[in-house]
Amino acid sequence: MPDSRPIAILGGTGPAGTGLALRWARVGETIIIGSRDAHRAQEAADKIKSKVGDQARISGMENSAACAAADVLVLTVPFEGQATLLKQLKPAIRSGSILIDATVPLAAGVGGRASRTLGVWQGSAAQQAAELVPKGVTIAAAFHNLSADLLNGNEALDCDVIVCSDDPDALQLTLTLAARLPGVRAIDGGKLENARILEQITALLIGLNIRHKGHGGIRITGFPPEAYR
């Protein structure tokens, strides 16, 4: 069943955000596309609606309006914009919100290679986000290892999503949302500090994608069925 809480995707006009929005809109979730520009957000929302159909519950808003309208937030911006955006949005983010961070600190953002990550002082982009959100906002890290090309298509995804969080509610909600994506199994990946590893796996996948000309994802095998959502 769809969660009745709207999901605001901040930076939702890029391939990662639109892909998640498309997949969740298709299964009946209520989506708000966030952007620095309200017009661009609405355009992206309209485009997704045209793919999903009139029943899609999707709208577009400037990022701070999206934060004010939802308490489930998904952050899909480049690492180089993450800290500045979160500082700007701090007054708009509602206490009690859950922020799901998908940011990968790719070296490409500062002129390096896409198949490498930058060192982040806090340990990971997700831990940096945790330092920047208002008190009372909890963080989960997820969706780093899903290809936006696949998300924006029609096929089942054939990938696992590992979720890391220090907060049980943020963890459970994110596992539920991940498992709503067709073909995805969601796995509890432990503490938020493990986000560093998820972020690095993306850099590895980018290198593999270049080498093998595809859109790789990951599957974790060998656990009892209850380990997979």
Ligand X SMILES: NC(=O)c1ccc[n+]([C@@H]2O[C@H](COP(=O)([O-])OP(=O)(O)OC[C@H]3O[C@@H](n4cnc5c(N)ncnc54)[C@H](OP(=O)(O)O)[C@@H]3O)[C@@H](O)[C@H]2O)c1
List of residues contacting ligand X (CB under 6 A): 11, 13-17, 35-37, 40, 76-81, 85, 102-104, 106, 143-144, 146-148, 202
Helix (H) or strand (E) holding 209: helix 195-212
Q: How far is the CB of 196 from ligand X (least distance, A)?
A: 14
Q: How far is the CB of 77 from ligand X (least distance, A)?
A: 4
- How far apart, in whole angstroms, are the C-alpha atoms of residue 119 and residue 124? 8
Give the three-class secondary structure for 213: coil
Q: Is residue 60 a contact partner of residue 42, using CB atoms and an 8 Å limit?
A: yes
Q: How far is the CB of 6 from ligand X (least distance, A)?
A: 18
- How far apart, in whole angstroms, are the C-alpha atoms of residue 87 and residue 154? 35
Helix (H) or strand (E) holding 74: strand 72-75
Non-local CB neighbours of 168 within 8 Å, separated by 6+ positions: none
Closer residue to ligand X in complex, CB, 86/98: 86
- At which residue do the structure tokens 């509610």 appear? 169
Closer residue to ligand X in complex, CB, 148/173: 148
Closer residue to ligand X in complex, CB, 52/106: 106
Q: How far is the CB of 151 from ligand X (least distance, A)?
A: 7
Closer residue to ligand X in complex, CB, 19/171: 19
